[in-house]
């Protein structure tokens, strides 16, 4: 069965960086893009960016450009999200979520539609406080 297991809660000071991991299992790691979404306390869901685990290419939300870096390690089927220059407004639960199905250089809309964001990590609480 598909599982996305995230790293544990973090407490950081303003200005620091945090790196959250998401370890995938139960499927071919390189066949699905991975997204990161965050949710501040009492707020809605906010998309942060995406990584293609196959080639490592990324795309980030404008809001986080310059502060976020997404990487992957295919040997351990793990994706990472690093957010720098943390401020109190970055206090949130961070989720990874499996997205598009892509294989052999092509993405498949029918399968993507059926599986998009079906699987999420359990969430990682990042608290930014002095």
Partner 1 sequence: DIQMTQSPSAMSASVGDRVTITCRASQGISNYLAWFQQKPGKVPKRLIYASSSLQSGVPSRFSGSGSGTEFTLTISSLQPEDFATYYCLQHNSYPPTFGQGTKLEIK
Nearer to partner 1 by C-beta: 73 or 123?
A: 123
Closest of 54, 64, 128, 63 to residue 93, by C-alpha: 128
Residues shown for the chain: 130
CB 17, min distance to partner 1, A: 23
CB 3, min distance to partner 1, A: 12
CB 39, min distance to partner 1, A: 9
The CB density around residue 128, as the number of other CB atoms within 10 Å, is 20
Nearer to partner 1 by C-beta: 8 or 13?
A: 8
Closest of 2, 15, 76, 67 to residue 36, by C-alpha: 67
Number of H helices, E strands in the chain: 1, 11
Which stretches of the chain bind partner 1, using CB under 8 A? 35, 44-47, 59, 61, 95, 99, 113-118, 120-123
Nearer to partner 1 by C-beta: 59 or 74?
A: 59
7, 73 Cβ separation under 8 angstroms:
no
Nearer to partner 1 by C-beta: 27 or 73?
A: 27
Rounded Cα–Cα distance for residues 56 and 2 (Å): 21
CB 113, min distance to partner 1, A: 4
């Amino acid at each position: 069965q598909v599982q996305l297991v995230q790293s544990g809660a973090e407490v950081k000071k303003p200005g620091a960086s945090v790196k959250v991991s998401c370890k995938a299992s139960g499927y071919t790691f390189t066949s699905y893009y991975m997204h990161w979404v965050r949710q501040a306390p009492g707020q809605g869901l906010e998309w942060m960016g995406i990584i293609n685990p196959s080639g490592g290419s990324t795309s980030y939300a404008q809001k986080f450009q310059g502060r976020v870096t997404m990487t992957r390690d295919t040997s351990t089927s793990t994706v990472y999200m690093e957010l720098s220059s943390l401020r109190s407004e970055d206090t949130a639960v961070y989720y990874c979520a499996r997205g598009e199905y892509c294989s052999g250089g092509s993405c498949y809309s029918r399968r993507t539609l059926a599986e998009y964001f079906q699987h999420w990590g359990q969430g990682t609480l990042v608290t930014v406080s002095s």
